[in-house]
Amino acid sequence: MTLDISGRSASEIADSVRAGIERGDLLPGDPLPPVRSLADDLGVNRNTVVAAYRQLTQAGVIVTRGRGGTRVADPSPVAQEGFAAGSVLRDVGTGNPDPELIPDLSPALARMAGRPVLYGEPVIDPGLERWAQEWMRDGLPSAAQLRLTITSGAADAVERLLAQALTRDDAVALEDPCFLTSIHTVRIGGYRAVPVPVDAEGMTPTGLRAALDQGVRAVILTPRAQNPTGASLSARRAEELREVLRDHPYVLVIEDDHFSLLSQQPFHSVIAPGHRRWALVRSVSKFLGPDMCLAVTASDPETAERLAMRLTPGTTWVSHLLQRLTLALLTDAATLAAIERAGAHYAARNAAFVERLTAAGLPADTGDGLNLWIPLPVPARAVAEQLMRRGWLARPGDEFVLGADDASPRLRLTVHDLDDDDAERLAADVAAAVRAAGGRLVTREVA
């Protein structure tokens, strides 16, 4: 089919492409003609077509991906965190916390309603602000001028932080493999994801340097309990990353410390005293439950200013009921003790599962966080398929990977809520699934 693109000016050509998409003549993912051939067909200067394509790219209508050429944008959704809808299988890929370990909100709920809050009042509850100032300061450069913003969770904070600093097609450094929601946020925002490999100590300095050399305007990294790998930044790695960032003080560095109070690892920040654009985000989702929909962001004043501006046309502020509830819970000694026990529980259950898996012939490491990132001798998709036949729904690593085209040899498992019998059965089933998919298990030498 020849494409019906017409026009003499950049705007006319861009309008004609948009009309083609509206009519359904051009579908998501369809290629557009190369600049040169379209310019020849229309009898216009190549620069006119380049300008038209630039307009369409800025508007998020088309995407240009190097050798992949220029295509109609395809907003197909990325896999999402959480339970798989409608599956009868036992879901061990959810990434969820254990509902049993989320504190009972009822006693605090009865106490915290307080007086009504009206338009024009401060958007942060003063009590929460005082408490969070101390919480957020810990681990950041002591001289840093720190301003707080409350958002409807970490994903909301990250989305707005990117929106206040970037425009479409700007590049963002993401950990590879990466938390699904961050991949989704970057894709929906029309930004370009630049993958930075993660090893056992977090983002690699060479990877970050390469991304900065490519001109990324923002970096999203997880200082602890990286999702999916479980990696946490060591003190040395954080210092190396600070060094890499030193020449880029205006690149927005977003630290997503989502596991904070549950983490078994110390917090090491990559934000150096001289860094000008930064944000540290701490969500309460993992310890007070995802439905609290609340995160605290500490940032430099300029970023805070713009972030507050980004909130005004949408949610405006996060309900003071939620803010007071968060404060009531996080200043309650019994709740804090329960959160500490929950952190220890997740770590112990994950370590016990790794032991079972190692005994079954699949050695693995325990990171920090809710999930395990299990290495396999065969592609994870084949193993996940075999696991389905045994009644389990597991997430193959491919969903989290940005950079590589090869099939991922990793499974992400959420197993902390399995009892001993189910954990034993799953470990045996993963081993059987690996064998059925043609993989070899590690047999232990008998001394």
Ligand X SMILES: Cc1ncc(COP(=O)(O)O)c(C=O)c1O
Q: Which residues bind ligand X (CB under 6 A)?
A: 81, 95, 153-155, 179, 222, 227, 256, 258, 283, 285, 290, 295
Quick one: 116 or 314, whose CB is closer to ligand X? 314
Nearest-angstrom CA–CA distance, 35 and 189: 25
Between CA 256 and CA 111 the distance in angstroms is 31
Residue 311 C-beta: closest distance to ligand X, Å: 15
Q: Give me the least distance between CB of 254 and ligand X, in Å please.
A: 10
In the bound state with ligand X, the residue whose beta carbon lies nearer, of 162 and 431, is: 162
Residue with Cβ nearer ligand X (164 or 227): 227
Pick the closer one to ligand X by CB: 227 or 323.
227
Do 165 and 277 meet the contact criterion of CB atoms below 8 Å apart?
Answer: yes
Shortest distance, CB of residue 159 to ligand X, whole angstroms? 9
How far is the C-alpha of 21 from the C-alpha of 26, rounded, in Å? 5
Residue number with CB closer to ligand X (123 or 362): 123
What's the min distance (Å) between Cβ of 63 and ligand X? Answer: 26
CB of 285 to ligand X, least distance (A): 3
CB 184, min distance to ligand X, A = 11
Minimum distance of ligand X from residue 21's CB (angstroms): 32
Q: Tell me the one-letter amino acid at 273.
A: P
Contact call for residues 244 and 270 (beta carbons, < 8 A): no
- The residue among 157 and 382 lying less far from ligand X, judged by its C-beta, is 157
- Considering the complex, state which of residue 256 and residue 300 has its C-beta at the smaller distance from ligand X: 256
**H or E element: which one contains 279?**
strand 278-283
120 backbone dihedrals φ, ψ, rounded to 5°: 90, -10
For the residues of 46-61, what is the DSSP string, one character each? HHHHHHHHHHHHHTTS
The residue (of 62 and 295) whose beta carbon lies closer to ligand X is: 295
**Taking the CA of residue 54 as centre, how many other CA atoms within 13 Å lie in the half-sphere pointing to its CB?**
8
N-terminal to C-terminal alpha carbon distance within the chain: 70
Neighbours of 395 (CB within 10 A): 25
- Closest to ligand X by CB, 290 vs 375, is 290
CA distances from 84 to 87, 136, 182, 394, 399 (A): 6, 34, 19, 10, 14
| DSSP track, 90-145 | EE----PPPGGGSPP-HHHHHH---S---TTS-SS-HHHHHHHHHHHHTTS-TT--
For the chain, give me the number of helices (H) and strands (E)? 15, 15
Q: At closest approach, how far in Å is the CB of 169 from ligand X?
A: 24
CB of 27 to ligand X, least distance (A): 32
Give me the half-sphere count of Cα atoms (radius 13 Å) on the Cβ side of residue 161: 38
- Which of 139, 140, 138, 190 lies closest to 162, judged by CA? 190
